[in-house]
Structure 1
Amino acid sequence: MGPPKRFKKDTDRGKWKKRKEDHDPDYVNDEDYNENDAEGIPDAAKNDVEKQDEGALEDEFGAKDYRSQMILKTDNISRPLWVAPNGHIFLESFSPVYKHAHDFLIAISEPVCRPEHLHEYKLTAYSLYAAVSVGLQTHDIIEYLKRLSKTSIPDGIIEFIKLCTLSYGKVKLVLKHNKYFIESPFPEVLQKLLKDPVIQNCRLRKNIEDETKDKDGLITSVLNKNKAPQFGAKSLPIVNQPASGGAPTVSNDSATPNQTNIEEIAIPEDITTFYDKIDKEDEDEEEQQLKTVSFEVNQEKIEVIQKRCIELEHPLLAEYDFRNDSVNPDINIDLKPSTVLRPYQEKSLRKMFGNGRARSGVIVLPCGAGKSLVGVTACCTVRKRALVLCNSGVSVEQWKQQFKMWSTADDSMICRFTSEAKDKPMGCGILVTTYSMITHTQKRSWEAEQTMRWLQDQEWGIMVLDEVHTIPAKMFRRVLTLVQSHCKLGLTATLLREDDKIADLNFLIGPKLYEANWLELQKRGFIARVQCAEVWCPMTPEFYREYLGCKMTRKLLLYVMNPNKFRACQYLIRYHERRGDKTIVFSDNVFALKHYAIKMNKPYIYGPTSQSERIQILQNFKYNMKVNTIFVSKVADTSFDLPEANVLIQISSHGGSRRQEAQRLGRILRAKKGAIAEEYNAFFYTLVSQDTMEMNYSRRRQRFLVNQGYAYKVITKLAGMSDEPDMMYKTRDEQGQLLQQVLSANDTDADEEKIPGEGPRPMIRKAGNMASLSGADDAVYYEYKKSAASSTANKHPLFKKFRT
């Protein structure tokens, strides 16, 4: 008979894991993850700076004593930073030099937690890579940290900064004439790379007559550096240069005049002089010519080269000299005279275009803070063919409207490429499409196939990637190999994922160029002031009894359909409708979404809702005074532009996803017209069934927003709900009927919604019976006894005698 087939189950599980990983952006494979197997990460990144403080003494609470490693300066009061040996940096937001220190830390480190008075940052290899990519030098970073710090800088931190920055920023990936080149002003660096067998296999050896080659086959050329472009002269802040030659101070911030005077007087002289020195060096560098060497590489192996260069300690910087590009035609687009950029939008764009070239990278701005305007401005600055990639068809329509609102582009210049809208692309300068349309692997229609071929043949000047945190999924990564673009700009509000693939963006697109502070934008009125609240809804005895004894999938349906949660949702909707507010109710579970919406007689949008119906519901929500509440599933998590909404109620969510929590908050973050800045003008409610696993999920979901400085208010009882008339599920009989509906629902009703682009559902093992094999899960066999008259009417006389 042979040995038993023991490995069949593991093989099938492996196939499922591969399918899940290919399609699900948030898939985490805990069994396969190994901290020591860090593919595509430089050796510098593998050196954990936090392990350098192992010798520090700890107290009973785990706090470490660094006094022996850090010497306090005499003028520490006027300096804003504490730099710990484990790489964590603490910034006093009330310091007079906060502005200088904050901009500097955003450039060199990753924000960890930013409450109102004290911010925490962390030095990482990738954050230092991003600092080098925007022009900061190793000695500048170390010297400025020393001047800002209250104490001496630990030796381990200095060594870590040198290790991560000395080899970074020396190699660039350039697209010329529809061909990719590895370029560097240091020939010895390219020769080192070409000794690597992986990079040798990716190199293309072709004769290029109009370029000069050396004996190693490297192409030599001379570049002229240009000054950086200026953005929106109307919105530029007034810059005051102190007479003593100190650092400039910005006078159009929300600080009071007294705060501004304190800042000008109290800034230590060594900080201001060094600030000017860095600026002067940048100006001198812009005016000089640069001799570079390069070699051509295979386009299909770009991701392999990027990963390998990171492992060799020479990450590739992607830059585009758009002003000197004579091959690709300019498009006739510019910002409208009425368009005014906000200061933080200008700052992010200056990071991108700081040296006269367009750097590839990621800009992180809160939802509702104007990411679309940043993307439109970047396209207007480059003035070459632009490709914009979005998550959904609704987002495509919104991006088209954004281009028409902020720029001089018209319908003839903008082309849409979605499943429902296929404009003719020939002659257009801006193409807006979705990730799924580009990565579609099934057979296309003839028209879509022709558009796709045209798209791949073009040499795009700039590619704008909206909601860029989805890119690390393998399905979406194909976009970067299918389409050729000189510059890639990623836009997102939540640069985080529940897996560890967010670091892949560093070599797929580029480093993080800028990240805004949510609370700071809220104080200055650029985004809404939101009151976050968690409403605890007790489970009814009958529902909780079933919850304790049922399987996991049924538990989800029970705590979502909790009658007390339904009533809390109904009360909050009525309360805010009386105030004249616009309310969005989110539910990941479609069974609950339909039940809540139909019972309350409200419109709802979910996956199968057609594009025309979605637009009609959204238009009514925006402009119809009688439609003040809509129910939506997770299809509206991203790219739904609803500036009128100021209340969000969450009844069901995707486990402990921090990203989804932040994205949903962003639906109501857009600044409200005519609102008083000191008062809350938006409300974010999360309804949680008490004493269920939903409470644990809620805690995990809130981590990102808490780190941004938001606080959640816990509400155990809604005042006035017991006195509200005509509330549903108030009696025990109504609650019992609802429980029967929930218990009779299929297991699939407890699943979250499946939306296009997420891939197949995971396989779930569940108990069944013989009837399940025939698909008769919900069917019951009944015998009906007919009346005697009808049963004997058509029978043969011989049988009537025996069957009456």
Structure 2
Amino acid sequence: MGKKEKGDREKRSKKRSYEDEDYEEDAPGAESQEAVPTAAGKQVDESSTKLDEYGAKDYRLQMLLKADHSSRPLWVAPDGHIFLEAFSPVYRYAQDFLVAIAEPVCRPIHVHEYKLTAYSLYAAVSVGLQTSDIIEYLQKLSKTSVPDGIIQFIKLCTVSYGKVKLVLKHNRYFVESAFPDVIQRLLQDPVIRDCRLRTAEGEEPELITEVISNKPAISKTQDNGGASTSQSADGQRGSSQVPEDIYSYYEQMDKEEEEEEETQTVSFEIRQEMIEELQKRCIQLEYPLLAEYDFRNDTVNPDINMDLKPTAVLRPYQEKSLRKMFGNGRARSGVIVLPCGAGKSLVGVTAACTVRKRCLVLGNSSVSVEQWKSQFKMWSTIDDSLICRFTSDAKDKPIGCSVAISTYSMLGHTTKRSWEAERVMEWMRSQEWGLIILDEVHTIPARMFRRVLTIVQAHCKLGLTATLVREDDKIVDLNFLIGPKLYEANWMELQNNGYIAKVQCAEVWCPMSPEFYHEYVAIKTKKRILLYTMNPNKFRACQFLIRFHERRNDKIIVFADNVFALKEYAIRLNKPYIYGPTSQGERMQILQNFKHNPKINTIFISKVGDTSFDLPEANVLIQISSHGGSRRQEAQRLGRVLRAKKGMVAEEYNAYFYSLVSQDTQEMAYSTKRQRFLVDQGYSFKVITKLAGMEEEDLMFSTRDEQQQLLQKVLAATDLDAEDEVVAGEFGGKSQTQLALCHYSTSMDEETFPNAEEFRPERWLRKDTLDRVENFGSIPFGYGIRSCIGKRIAELEMYLSLIQLLQKFRIEMTPLTGDVQAKTHGLLCPAAPINVCFIDR
């Protein structure tokens, strides 16, 4: 193979990976491994597994079948995978146990697959499970003997995790453990000894021994919502089918969970300024600190007058998730995973009402800020004056505020703020927050997240998300930035119990018209995306589905990542649309009309509506363009129609999700990748190759001339029109991507320009290499289309003259120059095309 061919192949490979990625922000923790213990990267050892004559793994010697295997629900494989029979009489108890110790991989109707990982075991011990409990219960539930490699892996991962806690009591920080030998081992380390608070005489005080009562903060009610995906909610089971050891064991577990336990602990106090150093050192010693907030004994931070309203009734899965957070009477930091529309907001509000200390809520858009405010007013008794918002559009006065709601980008903003915004930020920095709620926690970029944590001090962090998944596979870093996963719900169970809508998912295959497909094959630029998005047959299918569902009085959302396509579809079909530049006022007006106006039944939304748009009335979603192979985006969009439907006719399905795909294009491969997460949750996609009744409808682009006109409009579009919308606060560019940035903001950034305040014009000179030294180096021909050739030549001569001056002289400001302020000039351009003609003089 020649070098050129190989190089071309590598370029194509890079391009494919670029398009396939879900280019979210840098993953949390991507820039530092200090937050991750070494044991977290360990894998199950399969070196003892033999292969048979066909090359398959032979597990027969490691997995000996038990005599009563038919009564037990689990298969535990030596590679860490666990398979659960969803039709087992003890399914509910086995599932609760597996969710606590393993990661769900795939949960279809009859058999569920889980995987033991170091992170999942870390989460298990963090909520109180002991190593012996995990192994014993796994052995009781398994149809076979548990492989020795699995037992060793569990011991290895849990030997030190969860044994040490960082507890705030009476506004003093303590390192606490129920294992005195662990405390002694930590105190032998010189770094940790330095972190310890000493007496006035400089001596080390004695260890504090006390008995702690672990009374749950969330009371338990009857759980009727735990039926499996393949059995009814009454949870019928024949006692004769359940082995006695399993039956007695889960009765004992239930009893222990309800009882108020007393634990003897040993602790020592540490210096508050050394907390970060202590956490890093404990991770290096393989004893990561679990953060717990003893909010009941926090007498320094005042309680806020906020309780749940009597109308706020928790569903069983919501209550279960909160019991994981408050199980020992303290608030644990961690992540709760619930499907879209399953009531994550109520979980957050309940957590805030339980802690009853100052609460900070962070979302990813100003729309989510408004929705969180309405949720607090709906579910809690808090007075409206105690809630303040901090967004670009709404800056409420924070004085006397107990619940503050803002966005990640507002708090992580590094450039110069207005005087008013700076005062609000100073107030936020000065507060001691009892709880910080991080909505859509999977989207947080690492640098922004760390910046937010340094700006605001919170004793307990609660992350909420529906999709704990990222295309870069770095979601696991959240375990040590926020805390372990506390709870993850089963989507199919919630659907079968009526807590979320029953959705029919369909993939509609739309043939490419001959003219469009001819251009698609010939063009190699990103304009191919426009061609398969603007496919006339896809447009007709979209128009038909909108008409069909509007006749049923359904509420329809049409999603399009591409703004060119979004506008074309919406304007031609005479429907309102929302995208990035749409003002907050206009957005709220469109959404209110969609909710309450019977004449507005369809709206078009770009990717700004992927998350945090609360539209419970919507029951039909049509997707005409998407972002590559993003599993997360597919699940988030399905979530727009997942909220349980009230007053609808009982039928097999009460919500519909259509993904329109152009046949024989790259879009089909992306669509398959996007569906993986939902398929793993138990959803199935029905493929529709022909929409019944479409031929009888009078639809647009039915003639060849109309299709040709549309094709000419698509071909006249620029490559920029083919790009997906970039949403402010969400974009994190790939490496080697050149961006046009705000000149002033970039120039004042100390990371880019050391001593940015000083007058140093030579900083603009480039080195002898092609490497970029900064963002606005000497690029003589400017930035492309905004200047004519003659102007570029004149500017080039000026650039060269200036470069020669800078090379020969050091240029400084004279004392006569006073304080010079920056002056901003807006760049004006026509709002519409200008038609011209040429006339002889």
Superposition TM-score tier, normalisation by shorter sequence: 0.7 to 0.9
Matches within 5 A, 1:127-276: 127-175=120-168, 182-186=175-179, 188-190=181-183, 192-193=185-186, 204=195, 216=204, 220=208, 222=210, 224-231=212-219, 236-237=221-222, 256=232, 260-276=235-251
Q: Measure, in 2, the Cα distance between the counterparts of 1:305 and 1:206.
A: 12
1:101 is aligned to 2:94: yes
Structure 2 counterpart of 1:43, from 38, 43, 58: 38
Q: For the Cα contact (< 8 Å) 1:237–1:250, is it kept in 2?
A: no
Q: Measure, in 2, the Cα distance between the counterparts of 1:72 and 1:110.
A: 25
Structure 1 counterpart of 2:712, from 721, 740, 748: 740
- Cα pair distance change 1:738/1:664, threshold 3 Å: same
Task: Please state how far the C-alpha of 1:655 moved relative to its aligned partner.
Answer: 0.6
Structure 2 counterpart of 1:372, from 339, 345, 360: 345
- Higher mean alpha-carbon deviation, 95-104 vs 445-454, is at 445-454
Q: Measure, in 1, the Cα distance between the counterparts of 2:721 and 2:712.
A: 14
1:570 is aligned to 2:543: yes
**Which residue of 2 is the match for residue 89 of structure 1?**
82
Q: For the Cα contact (< 8 Å) 1:523–1:677, is it kept in 2?
A: no
Helix, strand or coil at the partner of 2:237: helix
Structure 2 counterpart of 1:750, from 722, 725, 728: 722
- Cα pair distance change 1:576/1:431, threshold 3 Å: same
- Cα pair distance change 1:478/1:370, threshold 3 Å: same
Structure 1 counterpart of 2:282, from 309, 333, 340: 309
**Which residue of 2 is the match for residue 124 of structure 1?**
117
Q: Measure, in 1, the Cα distance between the counterparts of 2:497 and 2:217.
A: 26
Count matched residues: 737
Helix, strand or coil at the partner of 1:100: helix
Q: Measure, in 2, the Cα distance between the counterparts of 1:28 and 1:417.
A: 25
**Which residue of 2 is the match for residue 246 of structure 1?**
none
Task: Please state how far the C-alpha of 1:263 moved relative to its aligned partner.
Answer: 4.3
Task: Please state how far the C-alpha of 1:220 moved relative to its aligned partner.
Answer: 3.7
Q: For the Cα contact (< 8 Å) 1:41–1:307, is it kept in 2?
A: no
Helix, strand or coil at the partner of 2:270: strand
Deviation per CA, 1:328-353, whole angstroms, max 9, x where unpaired? Answer: 10001101112111010111111111
What is the identity, as a one-letter code, of the residue corresponding to 1:427? Answer: G
Deviation per CA, 1:631-661, whole angstroms, max 9, x where unpaired? Answer: 0001110000000000001111111010000
**Which residue of 1 is the match for residue 484 of structure 2?**
511
Q: For the Cα contact (< 8 Å) 1:83–1:89, is it kept in 2?
A: yes
Q: Measure, in 1, the Cα distance between the counterparts of 2:350 and 2:597.
A: 32
Q: Measure, in 2, the Cα distance between the counterparts of 1:597 and 1:498.
A: 30
1:341 is aligned to 2:314: yes
Q: For the Cα contact (< 8 Å) 1:26–1:498, is it kept in 2?
A: no
Q: For the Cα contact (< 8 Å) 1:540–1:562, is it kept in 2?
A: yes
Q: For the Cα contact (< 8 Å) 1:24–1:473, is it kept in 2?
A: no
- Cα pair distance change 1:630/1:197, threshold 3 Å: farther
- Cα pair distance change 1:436/1:185, threshold 3 Å: same
Q: Measure, in 2, the Cα distance between the counterparts of 1:275 and 1:378.
A: 28
**Which residue of 1 is the match for residue 514 of structure 2?**
541
**Which residue of 2 is the match for residue 115 of structure 1?**
108
What is the identity, as a one-letter code, of the residue corresponding to 2:137? Answer: Y
Task: Please state how far the C-alpha of 1:124 moved relative to its aligned partner.
Answer: 0.5
- Cα pair distance change 1:180/1:392, threshold 3 Å: farther
Task: Please state how far the C-alpha of 1:550 moved relative to its aligned partner.
Answer: 1.2
Q: For the Cα contact (< 8 Å) 1:535–1:687, is it kept in 2?
A: yes
Helix, strand or coil at the partner of 1:630: strand
- Cα pair distance change 1:238/1:81, threshold 3 Å: closer
Q: Measure, in 1, the Cα distance between the counterparts of 2:392 and 2:694.
A: 45
Q: Measure, in 1, the Cα distance between the counterparts of 2:720 and 2:189.
A: 52
* 5+ long unaligned stretches in structure 2: 1-21, 740-780, 790-831
**Which residue of 2 is the match for residue 499 of structure 1?**
472
**Which residue of 1 is the match for residue 331 of structure 2?**
358
Matches within 5 A, 1:55-74: 55-57=49-51, 64-74=57-67
Task: Calculate the TM-score normalised by the size of structure 2.
Answer: 0.82
**Which residue of 2 is the match for residue 453 of structure 1?**
426
Q: For the Cα contact (< 8 Å) 1:93–1:119, is it kept in 2?
A: yes
Task: Please state how far the C-alpha of 1:478 moved relative to its aligned partner.
Answer: 1.6
Deviation per CA, 1:53-102, whole angstroms, max 9, x where unpaired? Answer: 66332575x75331121111111111000000000000000000001100
- Cα pair distance change 1:96/1:776, threshold 3 Å: farther
- Higher mean alpha-carbon deviation, 553-562 vs 276-285, is at 276-285
- Higher mean alpha-carbon deviation, 88-97 vs 493-502, is at 493-502
Q: For the Cα contact (< 8 Å) 1:622–1:642, is it kept in 2?
A: yes
Deviation per CA, 1:440-493, whole angstroms, max 9, x where unpaired? Answer: 101111121111111111111111111011235322332122211111111000
* 5+ long unaligned stretches in structure 1: 1-22, 240-248, 792-804
Matches within 5 A, 1:264-663: 264-279=239-254, 286-296=261-271, 298=273, 302=276, 306=279, 309-663=282-636
Deviation per CA, 1:732-775, whole angstroms, max 9, x where unpaired? Answer: 11111111111111111111111111346566699xx9995555
Q: Measure, in 1, the Cα distance between the counterparts of 2:412 and 2:187.
A: 32
Helix, strand or coil at the partner of 1:89: strand
Helix, strand or coil at the partner of 1:527: coil
Helix, strand or coil at the partner of 2:394: coil
Q: Measure, in 1, the Cα distance between the counterparts of 2:788 and 2:542.
A: 35
**Which residue of 1 is the match for residue 683 of structure 2?**
710
Q: Measure, in 2, the Cα distance between the counterparts of 1:58 and 1:699.
A: 33
What is the identity, as a one-letter code, of the residue corresponding to 1:473? Answer: A
- Cα pair distance change 1:730/1:190, threshold 3 Å: same
Q: Measure, in 1, the Cα distance between the counterparts of 2:585 and 2:427.
A: 28
- Cα pair distance change 1:263/1:605, threshold 3 Å: farther
**Which residue of 2 is the match for residue 8 of structure 1?**
none
- Cα pair distance change 1:509/1:758, threshold 3 Å: same
